[in-house]
C-alpha cells in the first residue's frame, strides 16, 4: 500500500470548491428516476444520460472532483466509442466505483439490514483498478425506529465497512466510508444526532481495529437532520451547528475530508446546509458534497430522454454543481439560485 498516493487521491476528492457526483444508482433506482420523467430504463438510455453529465465541461472541470460509477457504467462506452471512464479522466475528475451489493435482512434483528458484497471483493477491486477506478464506495444503512437501531446492526455494519476499507487500501483504492443513518421516520434532530454519534464512533473504532489508514479515506456521512415525518423540522442553522459539533466529537483530524450524502433532502436544502456548515469557521477537514439526487434531479427533468434537451440538461447540472461548489466554500447565497432560473 502506497499511503502517500492514497492520501493524494483522497485530498483531491475533497479539493476546495469541488465535490463528488454520485452517479452509481443501481438498475432499480435509476428505473424509478427514469419512470418519474417518462423515460424507459434501457442500457442505451442510461448510457446517454450519464454521457450527458460526464460531457458537461463546465460542471466537470470546475466543480466535480470525482464520480462514483455503477458496475454497468464503468464498462460502457460513449456513443462515439470513448469509454465513459475516459470522459471523466479527461475532465480532470477521478473515477470511482460503488462496490457494495446492496442490503439483506439482518438475522435476529427484525427491521434491520446489513450490507453485503465482501465475498470476492479483492478480485473485483483489482479489475476496477485496472479499468481506472481510484476510489470506491460502500454504503451501510442504519434505520431509526422503535427500538432500533440495535447495537448488533451498528456493529456488523461498521465491521463490514472497515473490512471493505482495508481491502480497498490493499488494492491501492481510496475507500469512501458511508455509514448512512436514514432520515425516514418521525424522529427529531436530537435522536438523529445520538444515533449518528453511536454509528460514527463504532465505525472509527472498527477502522482502527482493521488497520485502515485514516489519511487514505474519505468519510461520507449523513447530516444531523430531523426525520422526514417529524412535525418540527430543524432550521438550517441548527442542522449546521449540530452536524459540525457531531463531526468534531467523532471524526479524527487525520481524515482528509468529509463528503456528505444528501439522503433525500431537496436540492436547495442540501446546498444550504453545506454552506451553513462551511461558514462556521475553521475545521480539521474539508466539508464538501457527494450528492446523487440533489445534483441530478434538475438535469434529469431538463433532459427527459430527448437528444435535443442535452444542452438544457447540462446547464441544469452545471448550475447545481456550481451552487454546491460555492456551498463547499461557504460562499453560496439563495439569490444565486434565482439568477440562474
CATH 3.40.50.300 assigned to 3-340: no
C-alpha grid cell for residue 95? 473515477
Q: Which residues are catalytic?
A: 178, 220
The pLDDT of residue 308 is above 80: yes
Compute the distance between CA of residue 301 and CA of residue 272 in angstroms, rounded to an integer: 21
End-to-end CA distance of the chain: give it in Å, rounded.
47
C-alpha grid cell for residue 336? 444565486
Q: What is the mean pLDDT of residues 259-271?
A: 94
Higher pLDDT, 65 or 337: 65
The pLDDT of residue 128 is above 90: yes
How does residue 340 score in pLDDT terms, banded at 50, 70 and 90? Answer: low
Q: Which residues pair with 66 in a beta bridge?
A: 20, 94
Beta strand pairing call for 113-115 and 103-105: antiparallel
C-alpha grid cell for residue 105? 435482512
Of the candidates 205, 197, 97, 96, which has an alpha carbon nearest to the alpha carbon of residue 158? 205
Q: What is the mean pLDDT of the chain?
A: 97
| Torsion angles phi and psi, residue 58, rounded to 5 | -60, -50
Compute the distance between CA of residue 17 and CA of residue 37 in angstroms, rounded to an integer: 30
**Dihedral angle computed from the Cα positions of residues 195, 200, 203 and 205, in that order, rounded to the nearest 10 degrees:** -110
Contact indicator for 142, 134 with CB cutoff of 8 Å: no
Q: What is the mean pLDDT of residues 67-78?
A: 98
- Residue 281: the pLDDT is 87
- Residue 52: the pLDDT is 98
- Using the structure block, give the residue that is written with the C-alpha cell 460514527: 200
- 249 Cβ contact partners less than 8 Å away, ≥ 6 residues apart: 197
Q: How do the domains of the chain map onto residue ranges? A: 3-340
In the chain, the percentage of residues whose pLDDT exceeds 70 is 99
How does residue 341 score in pLDDT terms, banded at 50, 70 and 90? Answer: low
- Residue 178: the pLDDT is 98
Summarised one tens digit per residue, pLDDT across range 200-239 is 999 999 999 999 999 999 999 999 999 999 999 999 999 9
Q: Which residues pair with 148 in a beta bridge?
A: 145
Q: What is the mean pLDDT of residues 187-192?
A: 98
Contact indicator for 68, 176 with CB cutoff of 8 Å: yes
How does residue 315 score in pLDDT terms, banded at 50, 70 and 90? Answer: very high
- Using the structure block, give the residue that is written with the C-alpha cell 444503512: 141
Q: What is the pTM of this model?
A: 0.97
Amino acid at each position: 500500500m502506497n499511503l502517500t498516493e492514497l492520501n493524494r487521491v483522497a485530498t483531491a476528492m475533497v479539493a476546495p470548491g469541488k465535490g463528488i457526483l454520485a452517479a452509481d444508482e443501481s438498475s432499480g433506482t435509476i428505473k424509478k428516476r427514469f419512470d418519474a420523467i417518462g423515460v424507459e430504463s434501457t442500457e442505451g438510455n442510461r448510457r446517454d444520460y450519464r454521457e450527458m453529465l460526464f460531457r458537461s465541461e463546465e460542471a466537470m472541470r470546475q466543480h466535480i472532483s470525482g464520480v462514483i460509477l455503477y458496475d454497468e457504467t464503468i464498462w460502457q462506452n460513449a456513443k462515439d466509442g470513448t469509454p465513459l471512464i475516459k470522459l471523466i479522466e479527461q475532465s480532470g475528475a477521478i473515477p470511482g466505483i460503488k462496490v457494495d451489493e446492496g442490503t439483506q435482512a439482518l438475522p435476529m434483528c427484525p427491521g434491520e439490514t446489513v450490507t453485503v458484497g465482501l465475498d470476492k471483493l479483492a478480485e473485483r477491486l483489482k479489475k476496477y483498478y485496472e479499468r481506472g477506478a481510484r476510489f470506491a464506495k460502500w454504503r451501510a444503512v442504519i434505520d431509526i425506529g422503535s427500538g432500533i437501531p440495535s447495537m448488533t446492526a451498528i456493529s456488523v455494519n461498521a465491521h463490514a465497512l472497515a473490512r471493505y476499507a482495508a481491502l480497498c487500501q490493499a488494492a491501492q483504492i481510496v475507500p469512501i466510508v458511508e455509514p448512512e443513518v436514514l432520515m425516514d421516520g418521525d424522529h427529531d434532530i436530537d435522536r438523529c444526532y445520538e444515533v449518528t454519534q453511536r454509528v460514527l464512533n463504532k465505525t472509527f473504532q472498527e477502522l482502527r481495529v482493521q488497520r485502515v489508514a485514516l489519511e487514505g479515506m474519505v468519510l461520507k456521512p449523513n447530516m444531523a437532520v430531523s426525520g422526514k415525518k417529524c412535525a418540527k423540522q430543524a432550521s438550517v442553522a441548527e442542522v449546521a451547528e449540530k452536524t459540525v459539533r457531531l463531526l468534531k466529537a467523532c471524526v479524527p483530524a487525520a481524515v482528509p475530508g468529509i463528503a456528505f450524502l444528501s439522503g433525500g433532502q431537496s436540492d436547495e436544502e442540501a446546498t444550504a446546509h453545506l454552506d451553513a456548515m462551511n461558514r462556521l469557521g475553521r475545521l480539521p477537514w474539508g466539508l464538501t458534497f457527494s450528492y446523487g439526487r440533489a445534483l441530478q434531479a434538475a438535469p434529469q427533468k431538463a433532459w427527459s430522454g430527448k437528444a435535443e434537451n442535452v444542452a438544457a440538461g447540462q446547464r441544469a447540472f452545471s448550475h447545481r454543481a456550481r451552487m454546491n461548489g460555492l456551498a463547499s466554500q461557504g460562499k453560496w447565497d439563495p439569490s444565486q439560485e434565482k439568477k440562474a432560473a
